[in-house]
Structure 1
Amino acid sequence: MQNPVSEVGTVVSLLTAAASPEIQKAAFRKYFTSDAGFRHPICHVTPGPGSRDRILAIFQWYRIMSPQLKISTNSVVHDPANNTLILDIVQEFHIRLSPFKPAPSRLLVRLTLREENALQYIAFQEDFYHPDDFMSLLVPPLAPVIRTGLSVASSASAIYARIGQLLGFWTTSGLHETNHAGLYDKSE
């Protein structure tokens, strides 16, 4: 890529939602280094010789599982100091023969780039999902169950924190009087 920030949305579409396996394979050869790595919640490819082909096989299986895939890149953040891109992506992944309607699923993708011959190539891809978004990919009706479980865990944390504070752990007594380095207003 000559300009990764403006080109990466198109690259993502070619890698994940290509119209044919030939287009997808050509995109992998064009945009990934031959020794690229990949990390996802359910699979991992260590960077090394031939690793790009193993990553391609994962993406091919992804397309076989979901022939009707919609994907959009909402935003891209470039960190030039670390030569990385962070992408905010929403996808609708519909598993072949699944009786469930696909649900939008959000993920963050971190791409580590490597410059070769004045172009930027993907050297490592990491995919990050919230548990409920990941469930939206697999069994969309269970995503609300996961969200409920996360809410229950949050409520339990608040209860446990209060109990711990009553027992004298991690208390906030005296916070307003000392104004810890000017972080809090005395009127709070």
Structure 2
Amino acid sequence: MTQAATILRTGRKFDQVLRGAREVFMADGFEGASVDDIARAAGVSKATLYSYFPDKRLLFTEVAQNECRLMSENILSMIDETKPAREVLMVAATQLVAFLVSDFAQQVFRICVAERDRFPELGKAFYEAGPQNGQRQMSEYLIKAVAKGELAVEDVNIAAEQFSELCKVRLWGRAAFGIQNSFSQGEIDEVATQAVDMFMARYGV
């Protein structure tokens, strides 16, 4: 990436482009999203949009990565690592379950699957920014919890993946297959609690 591109990424219109693109991708999907509609939603010219993102795939990738980053920052801001492991994991699980069944996460997942063969880089980018990044951060926390004697984990990477999968129980599949489109906080809390209970039963000290 050139220095000029790096500077452009911090501009006010860059944020407008991301907001507009998010709105259009959510409404029309990747294939149905037109550059004209994105520029209109963002309140910028097509020339401005192309100056940031010459390719729609790059724009979608940036939107997905930005959303995952915001979600990750939100979870980290809510976590107090001085608290007992169960409390920390409950915060992480509750936020993760809510994100997994959110309209945005589900739409991005569908787009990545639909475009997998033609544009495998889309799925790769979302996986790296979302699941892989989340599991890396969970692994880092687990190392600290093990050092404090709160958890007994031999392979923190496997354990981090297991934690993520436990947070998908029941609700994620229903969302992915369109069986259920909205989820109450009670449903989210129940899945998060069950995930943490199972995780602590295996790794708790």
Larger Rg: 1
The structure showing larger relative contact order (alpha-carbon pairs under 8 Å, at least 6 residues apart) is 2
How does the TM-score come out when normalised to structure 1?
0.27
